[in-house]
Homo-oligomer: A and B are copies of this chain.
């Protein structure tokens, strides 16, 4: 390895800006919203495979993480989410409620995310008072977790005979 290559290897290169990362996430949220919309209402809180949670319960977890998590990165206020119990009342167990909360969460993410400073992304944080990691890594984890549970929703839909929305379409 020449010295020039060694220099290049240790140079810090930006992979993505916070603005573009937020846009990627918003694209994911549009797709996840379509998966919620596509789910048969009468199966949303009843259908499951292999002892897993219902898709409605998974979406509730995503709702408990997304906006609250981003706000926490800015304010260090993590709300009162109980991760052992993503509770919903019987009245809340509807597609309409999930979609309404989904849209409110997306708005809140768009409000809070740009308030995270460049330095903050590199800091170590205890998300929700318990999960330690870099801010950038924790935010990616929130997105990974959304992709993960949405993909499980894809299998549930296929199993119910419903064609899921196109994975590649984020518009």
Contacts and interface: CB of A to CB of B under 8 A. Distances in A.
- Which 3 pairs, one residue from A and one from B, show the smallest C-beta to C-beta distance? A50-B158, A151-B151, A50-B159
Contacts of A150: 148, 151
A26 interface: no
Interface string A125-139: 000000100101101
A37 B16 CA distance: 32
A166 interface: no
Contact of A121 (B15, B19, B121): B15
B158 A51 contact: yes
Q: From DSSP, what is the main secondary structure of chain A's interface residues?
A: helix
- Most chain B CB atoms below 10 A, which of A9, A16, A152: A16
A18 interface: yes
Contact of A18 (B14, B155, B157, B167): B14
A154 B37 CA distance: 23
24 contacts: A12-B19, A13-B19, A13-B118, A14-B121, A15-B20, A15-B121, A20-B136, A20-B137, A24-B137, A49-B155, A50-B155, A50-B158, A51-B158, A52-B158, A131-B168, A141-B168, A147-B147, A147-B151, A148-B150, A149-B151, A150-B151, A152-B152, A152-B154, A155-B155
